[in-house]
Structure 1
Amino acid sequence: MSSIALVGNPNTGKTSLFNTLTSSYEYVGNWAGVTVEKKIGSLKNGAGKLIDLPGIYSLHPLSRDEGVAAQYLIEETPEALINIVDASQLERNLLLTLQLLEYGKPTILGLNMTDVAKARGIQVNPEALQAKLGVPVLPLIARTGKGSSQVLSAVAEPANIPAANFHLDYGGIVEGTLASMISQLQQLPGLPNLRWVALQFMEQNPVVLELLKKRIDISGLMLLCDDCQTRLQKQKLALTLPQWIRSVRMDYIRVVCAAAIDATMQKPHNLTERLDSILTHRFLGLPLFILFMYAMFKTTFDWAGGPLSDVVDGFIGGPLSDWTNSLLQAIGASEFTHALIVDGIIGGVGGVVVFVPQIFILFLMISFLEDSGYMARVCLLMDSTMERMGLNGKAFIPFIIGFGCNVPAIMAARSIEQPKERMLTTLLLPLMSCSARLPVYLLFAAVFFPARQATAVLAMYVMGVVFALILCKLFSRYLFKNESSLFIIELPPYRMPQLKTLGRSTWEKGKGFLRKAGTIILAGSVLIWLMSYAGPAGVNVDMDHSFLAKFGGFIAPLLEPLGFGTWQAGSTLVPGFLAKEVVVSTMNIIYHAPDAAGLEGQIASVFTPLSSISFMAFILLYIPCLATVGVIKKETASWKWTFFSMGYSLVLAYAVSLVIYQGGRLLGWS
C-alpha cells in the first residue's frame, strides 16, 4: 500500500484536510503546534495511507515535533507528497516547498486558505505558480472541504503524479561541492535523492547529520563543506554556507511570488489587525482575557451548565433509579445484586455523570476560543509574564489543553523548541485543573458557595496556574540553570468557527470523560462499593467497620491538620490516583447518596467552608493520575523526573492545604 505524506507550515490546514481525505478525526485548532506526532489514516478511495506530519517551517528542525517530520522524510521515504501552503502567506510558506521539491518525490501543492487571501485582497494565480514550480497546484479551502475532492482524485494513483523535477542553481562553487558530495554518497544504499541529502548536510540539518554519522565517516563531507565555505568567503560574501543556500532560495521565491501573486488590491488593515489592536493591546489585552474567562466559567456553571446538570441529576436519582429498582424486584435479584447495581454502579457512576453537561459546555467554549484564533493571542499576551518565570508564551498552549486532560497537554509540549522549557512544562502541567477534577470543584462549590460557584471554580483554575508559574521560577533557577529561551508562535487569522468543527472538537475532548465513566469510574465504583460492603467481620457490615473504613483510617490522622481527617475523606484520595473522577463516585457510595442533593447534604454536615477549600486545593495539587504519570515517563524517558513530579506535587498539596486550613483558623474563619 502506497504512503503519501501531508507536509506544510504550522496552521496551514493540514489536519483539516487529513480529516476530510481519510474520514477520520484528529485534533484541529486555529494555532500552531496542534499536530505533535505523525498521524496515519487510510484514504477514502483506498489509494493508500495518508501521513499527517507535524507542521514545520523548514526541514531543519527546531523542536521534537518538527524532528518527527524530518526523520520521516529521511528514513521512510513516502511515494508522494502533498504540500499544503497558505495562499495568504505564500512567500513564507514556499521556503519549505522548495526544500520538498528538491526531495524529488511526486508532489502536489495544495493552495489552501484561498478564501482568507481573497478577503485580504490577495489574488494567487495557480497556473503561474504551477509553471514556476513544475508540480500540480490545486486551490482548496480545507476547513470547508472545498477542493478536497480534487486532491483525493489526484492521489488516487500516486504513480501518475509527476515527479518533482526541480533544480535550483546555487552557483558554481556550491554546485561543484554538491557534485563531489554526491559521488561520495553514492556508496550508501537506501538514501532518498542524493542531491537533497547533500544540500541538507550543507545546511547542517541535525537529522541528516545523525543519520550519516551512523553509516559513514563524515569527515570527508565536512572537509568539502569547509572548503566551499572558504571559497565563498574569498568572494567577499559575508554569509555562511547555510545562509548562502537560504538566500538563493529566497531570491527564487521572490521571483515566483512576483509572477503568481497580485497584491494590488490588498487591504491595508484587515479584520485580524483591527481586532488585534484591541485584544492584544499592551494594557487592555490581559484584562479582556480575564473577563472572557470569567464569562466562560459563569456560562458553564451558572447560566447554562447548572440547570442542565439538575435535569440529569433528576433523571438519575428519579426515573432511572426507580426503573432499575422495579426491574430488579421483578426478576427476583438478590439483595447483594440489588445493592451492587443501585448503590455501587448507579450511585457511583451517576454521581459523576451528573456533571457531564457542564464539562461539555466548558469544552465547547474552549474549542470556540481555540478555533477562532484567540488562544494564540493569549500565548503572546502571556509571554512576558511567563518569560519572567522561566518559560515563554508557547508553553501556555499545553496549559490550556491541560484544562481538558493533562495527558494530551504533556504530549503537546513537544512543540516547544528548548529542552529546558519542554521539561519544565511537562513537570508543571499536572497542576492544571483537568476535567477529572471538575466534578469535585462543582460538588463543593454547590454546597458551600452556591451564589458564587463560577468564582469558586475559576479560583481553583487560577490557583493551579499561579503555583505552576511560581514553581517554574524556582525550578528554572535551581534545576535548569543557564539555558537559553526562544519564542516563535504563529498568529493565525481570526475566523468564525464552524458548527461542525466545534461539535467534533467538543466531542473529541469530552468523549474521554464518558469513556472513563464506562471503564475506570465503573470499575473503581464497583471496587469501592465491595470494600464498603465487606469487612473483617464478613459481608453486609456497617460502613464504619468495612475494609474501606479500615483503609481510610490509616491515612486519616495525616489529614487531620488539613481539616478533613476522616476515614471517608482518606478513602477518596488513594483511588483518586487512578482517576480523579473516582473521588466523587467514592463519596456517593460512602454516603449512600440517592442523588446530588443528598450528597450535598452529607458533605455539608462533614466539611466546613474552610475545610472544603483545603480539600479542593489538595485535589488540585496532589499526585497526578496514573495515565498522566505514564505519559510523563514516556515523554521524559526518566524515572527520576517521573518520581520527582509525583513527589513535589504531593508535598505541595499538603503544604498548601495546611496553610489554607491552619491559616484560616488563625484568622477566625470556619
Structure 2
Amino acid sequence: MQEQAGGLKLEKKQNGQSQREIRVGFVGNPNCGKTTLFNAFTGANLKVANWPGVTVERVEGRTSYKGRSIKVIDLPGIYSLTSYTIEEIVTRRCIEEGEVDVIINVVDASSLERNLYLTLQLLELKKPVILALNMMDIVEERGMEIDLHRLPEMLGGIPVVPVSARKRTGLDVLMHAVVHHYEEGPQGVVVHYDENLEEKIRQIEAILRAKYGDMENMRWHAVKLLEQDPEVMKDHPVDISHIAEKNYEKDIINEKYNYIEEVMEECMMGREEKSASTDRIDSWLTHPVFGVPIFLGIMATVFFLTFTVGDFLKGYFESGLEWFSGAVLAAMQHVQASDWLISLVVDGIVAGVGGILTFLPNIFILFLALAFLEDSGYMARVAYVMNEIMGRVGLSGKAFLPMLLGFGCTVPAVMASRALASERDRRRTILITPFMSCSARLPIYVLFSEMFFKEHAMLAAYSLYVIGLIVAIAIAFILHKREKNKDEDTLLIELPEYKTPNARTVAIYVWDKVKDYLTKAGTTIFVASIVLWFVLNFGVHGYETDVTQSFAAAIGRLLVPVLKPAGLGTWQIAVALISGLSAKEVVVSSFSVLYGISNINSAAGMAELSKVLGIAGFGMANAYALLVFCLLYSPCVAAVGTIRRETRSLKFTLQMVLFQIVLAWCFAVSIFQIGSRIL
C-alpha cells in the first residue's frame, strides 16, 4: 500500500511505520561509468559514450532494495563542485537544495587520484557519501592494486564498494550500503588545511553565523567564500575583504591534492607501473601532424562500410518494399477501392515512408561504427586532436564534442553545447553545429550520389561531411577575427583508457538511433507524405489528376526563379526542399511522391528518376549543388525549436535560419555555375 505525503512517496512497513523513499544521486567525473551504472539499476536506455559531455541534464529513475523504494538521479558528469559550467551548477544545486539523501560517488578506479578531488568536495557537504569503485578490471590489467580496507579508513569510514557497471557486479552490495548509510547519517574525513587557512575559515564561519544563524554546511560555505565561488557569494553575500585579501582557490586545491597524495601512497600499490598500450596508440592517434589525417581516414573507412555493406543489405529491403507495395496495390484493387485512395496509400504513404525505410541498413552500419569508436575511447582523442584547430578559430576542443554529436542528430548536439562555459561559445557552437551532416541527410546523399556519381558515390558523399566541417570551422574563424575581446579557452578533457567496446552499450546506442529513425518514419515522414500527396493532388478546383495544376506546383513555381541559378529550377525540387524542413529524410520521400516512383531507392527506381531529371537537364553539377544545398540549409523544425529553447532568443534563431538558407543558396549557385562549365 502506498500513499503520498509532503510530495514524497511513502510505503508501509510490516510494523506499520512508513518509510520515506530514499533519493540517491549518482555523481562522478565524466566518463567514469556513472550513466552505465545508472542504466544497470533502472534499466533505462540512456545514451552512454566513452567521452565527456553526454549527460547534460539530470535524469531520474526508480529501483528498490528489499522492499525499500529508491529514487535514483543521474547527474551530469563534473570534475569539481565549482560553478564554472552548466553541469557543475546543475549537480551542485540538486545536492544543495536537498533533492538527494545519499550520494553515490562513482569513480574510475584506474584514475583514482584525479577522481578523489571531487570525493573530498562531496564529503565537505555533510551528506552520506558512498564511494563506488568502477573499472576495477582496468586496475588489475595495469598491474595495480587498491587496498580496500585502508581506503575507507583514509576517507573517514565511508563505504567503499567495488562495482562493475559493465558486468553488473556489486550492485546488491551498493544498494545495501545506500540503505544502511542513509539510516546511519553522514560520515567521512574533512580536510584540515594549514593554520592560516583554518583561521580564516573560523573567522568567516563566525560572520556567517552572525548573519544567517546556524546554517547547514557552515564550513563548506566558508571554504567556498575563500575560493570566491560566484554562487555562494551571490546567495550569501558577506564582507570578508578584511579576512581574505585574495582568491584562495589554488591554495585550497593544493591542500586537497596533498592529502590525496597521502591517500594514494597508503592505498594504491603498483601505480608506477602504467600500461604502455594506451600511450603507444596515442603517440599516433593524437600526433600533432598525423592526428587529423588519421581521423579523416577513420571516418572515410566508416563511410566506405556504410556504402558497401549498407548497400548490400539495402537490396533485400528494396525487394521487400517492392513486394509489399505490389501486395497493397493488389489488395486495394481487389476490394475496388477508389483511385484517389489507392494513390494516397500506394503513391503517397507506402512510397514515401517505404522509400525512407530502405536506407535503414546504411543508417545501422553508420551508427554501429560510430558506437564502436565512442565506446572504445577514441572520440575523446578527436576533441584533443582538434583542440589546436578549434583554438585558431576562437573555440576550445570541447566545442568539437557537440559537433561530433551533430553527425548523429542536431537536436542532442545543440543541447550538448551546454558543456561550454561561456554564452558566446555556446551560441557560436550552436551556429556551426547544424553544418555537420546528421543521419537524416544520409538518405539524400546515398540516393543522388549513387544515381549521378556511380563508382565515385562514396567519395561524393564523404566529401559532403568534409565540406560541412570546413564550412563550420571557416565561419567560426571569421567570427573570431571580427571579435575585439579574444579570450583564450583552455581545454580540460579526460583521455580515457582504450577499452574493448561493451556489446550492451553499443546495442543501446545503435537501437536508440534506429528507433529514432523508425519513429520519424512512422510519424513525421508519414504525416509529411500524406500532406505532400494532398498538395500534389488538389488544386484550386479540387481533386486534380494533372499534378501541374496542384497547390504544390503553384508553390514550387514561386521559388523556381530563386533556385534556378543553383541548377535547381524545377517546381518539384523546390517542393522537395520545402518538405525537408520537417525532416531531412522527407526530401527523398518527396521525390518519390512527386515523380510517382514507388521504390525510388531500387536500381529501377533510381534509373527512372535519373531519366526524368535528365530530360529536365539535371546532371552531375545539378546533383552536387542539390547535395550541398541540403547539407547547408536550415535544419529540421525539431532542431530549430531546440535552438530557440537553448538560446532563449527568437531573434538569434530566425537570423541563424535565414543565414543558413542564404549560405546554402550561395554555395549551390557557385557549385552549379562552376561545375556546369567544367562537366
TM-score grouping bracket, smaller chain normalisation: over 0.9
Counterpart of 2:162, as a letter, is P
CA distance in 1, matches of 2:484, 2:304: 39
Name the structure 1 match of 2:265: 258
Does 1:309 find its partner at 2:332? Answer: no
Residues 21 and 152, structure 1, Cα contact 8 Å, conserved in 2:
no
Deviation at 1:601, TM superposition (A): 2.6
1:498 to 486, 502, 517: 502
Name the structure 2 match of 1:178: 201
Bigger drift between 579-588 and 145-154 goes to 145-154
- Superimposed CA distance per residue, residues 328-354 of structure 1 (whole angstroms, 9 cap, x where no aligned partner): 234443333222111111011111111
Name the structure 1 match of 2:577: 573
Counterpart of 1:122, as a letter, is M
Bigger drift between 436-445 and 474-483 goes to 474-483
Name the structure 1 match of 2:45: 25
Name the structure 2 match of 1:412: 416
Matches within 5 A, 1:150-229: 150-156=173-179, 159-186=182-209, 188=212, 192-212=216-236, 218-220=237-239, 222-223=240-241, 226-229=242-245
Bigger drift between 510-519 and 242-251 goes to 242-251
Does 1:471 find its partner at 2:495? Answer: no
Name the structure 1 match of 2:300: 294
Bigger drift between 364-373 and 250-259 goes to 250-259
Deviation at 1:600, TM superposition (A): 1.6
Aligned length: 648
CA distance in 1, matches of 2:273, 2:406: 38
Bigger drift between 321-330 and 108-117 goes to 321-330
Q: Which runs of 5+ in 2 are unaligned?
A: 1-20
Deviation at 1:44, TM superposition (A): 4.6
Residues 70 and 207, structure 1, Cα contact 8 Å, conserved in 2:
no
Name the structure 2 match of 1:487: 491
Name the structure 1 match of 2:429: 425
CA distance in 1, matches of 2:274, 2:264: 19
Residues 347 and 588, structure 1, Cα contact 8 Å, conserved in 2:
yes
- Superimposed CA distance per residue, residues 284-311 of structure 1 (whole angstroms, 9 cap, x where no aligned partner): 3222222211111111112x10011111
CA distance in 2, matches of 1:60, 1:35: 18
Deviation at 1:184, TM superposition (A): 4.1
- Superimposed CA distance per residue, residues 215-264 of structure 1 (whole angstroms, 9 cap, x where no aligned partner): xxx233x23xx42448xxxxxxxxx5222222222221111111111126
Question: What SS class does the counterpart of residue 124 from structure 2 fall into?
Answer: helix
Name the structure 2 match of 1:236: none
In structure 2, the CA distance between the partners of 1:132 and 1:158, relative to structure 1 (3 Å rule), is closer
2:32 to 2, 7, 12: 12
Does 1:272 find its partner at 2:272? Answer: no
In structure 2, the CA distance between the partners of 1:480 and 1:573, relative to structure 1 (3 Å rule), is farther
Name the structure 2 match of 1:60: 82
Name the structure 2 match of 1:215: none
Deviation at 1:269, TM superposition (A): 4.4
Does 1:246 find its partner at 2:253? Answer: yes
Name the structure 2 match of 1:140: 163
Deviation at 1:179, TM superposition (A): 3.4
Name the structure 2 match of 1:658: 669
Question: What SS class does the counterpart of residue 170 from structure 1 fall into?
Answer: coil
- Superimposed CA distance per residue, residues 489-526 of structure 1 (whole angstroms, 9 cap, x where no aligned partner): 11001011022221111111222111111111000000
Name the structure 1 match of 2:9: none
Does 1:627 find its partner at 2:638? Answer: yes
Deviation at 1:545, TM superposition (A): 1.0
CA distance in 1, matches of 2:301, 2:200: 62
Name the structure 2 match of 1:508: 512
Deviation at 1:467, TM superposition (A): 0.4
TM-score normalised per structure 1: 0.93
- Superimposed CA distance per residue, residues 376-411 of structure 1 (whole angstroms, 9 cap, x where no aligned partner): 111111122222222222222111110110010111
In structure 2, the CA distance between the partners of 1:195 and 1:80, relative to structure 1 (3 Å rule), is same
Residues 31 and 52, structure 2, Cα contact 8 Å, conserved in 1:
yes
2:546 to 542, 548, 559: 542
Name the structure 2 match of 1:114: 136
Q: Which runs of 5+ in 1 are unaligned?
A: 213-217, 231-239
Bigger drift between 195-204 and 185-194 goes to 185-194
Name the structure 2 match of 1:610: 621
CA distance in 2, matches of 1:161, 1:154: 10
Counterpart of 2:507, as a letter, is G
Residues 47 and 156, structure 1, Cα contact 8 Å, conserved in 2:
no
CA distance in 2, matches of 1:314, 1:90: 54
Question: What SS class does the counterpart of residue 611 from structure 1 fall into?
Answer: helix
Does 1:435 find its partner at 2:439? Answer: yes
Bigger drift between 608-617 and 169-178 goes to 169-178
Residues 155 and 161, structure 1, Cα contact 8 Å, conserved in 2:
no
CA distance in 2, matches of 1:189, 1:506: 53
Residues 536 and 547, structure 1, Cα contact 8 Å, conserved in 2:
yes
Deviation at 1:372, TM superposition (A): 0.5
Residues 107 and 162, structure 1, Cα contact 8 Å, conserved in 2:
no
CA distance in 1, matches of 2:299, 2:213: 56
Residues 208 and 238, structure 2, Cα contact 8 Å, conserved in 1:
no
Question: What SS class does the counterpart of residue 72 from structure 2 fall into?
Answer: strand
Counterpart of 2:128, as a letter, is P
Deviation at 1:417, TM superposition (A): 2.8
Name the structure 1 match of 2:648: 637
Residues 135 and 162, structure 1, Cα contact 8 Å, conserved in 2:
no
Residues 21 and 44, structure 1, Cα contact 8 Å, conserved in 2:
no
- Superimposed CA distance per residue, residues 102-147 of structure 1 (whole angstroms, 9 cap, x where no aligned partner): 1111111001111111111221112111111120000112122222
Counterpart of 2:238, as a letter, is S
Question: What SS class does the counterpart of residue 227 from structure 1 fall into?
Answer: coil
Residues 556 and 565, structure 1, Cα contact 8 Å, conserved in 2:
yes
Deviation at 1:602, TM superposition (A): 3.9
Residues 431 and 620, structure 1, Cα contact 8 Å, conserved in 2:
yes
Does 1:86 find its partner at 2:90? Answer: no
Question: What SS class does the counterpart of residue 386 from structure 2 fall into?
Answer: helix
Residues 625 and 671, structure 2, Cα contact 8 Å, conserved in 1:
yes
Bigger drift between 2-11 and 100-109 goes to 2-11
Deviation at 1:67, TM superposition (A): 2.0
Bigger drift between 422-431 and 388-397 goes to 388-397
CA distance in 2, matches of 1:60, 1:562: 51
In structure 2, the CA distance between the partners of 1:189 and 1:71, relative to structure 1 (3 Å rule), is farther
Counterpart of 1:290, as a letter, is L
Question: What SS class does the counterpart of residue 126 from structure 1 fall into?
Answer: coil
Name the structure 2 match of 1:233: none
1:338 to 329, 335, 342: 342
1:356 to 354, 360, 374: 360
Deviation at 1:158, TM superposition (A): 5.8
CA distance in 2, matches of 1:398, 1:146: 32
Bigger drift between 99-108 and 529-538 goes to 529-538
CA distance in 2, matches of 1:381, 1:43: 40
Deviation at 1:278, TM superposition (A): 2.2
CA distance in 2, matches of 1:433, 1:92: 36
Bigger drift between 115-124 and 197-206 goes to 197-206
Deviation at 1:165, TM superposition (A): 4.2
Does 1:2 find its partner at 2:25? Answer: no
Residues 74 and 191, structure 1, Cα contact 8 Å, conserved in 2:
no
Name the structure 2 match of 1:235: none
CA-atom RMSD in angstroms: 1.9
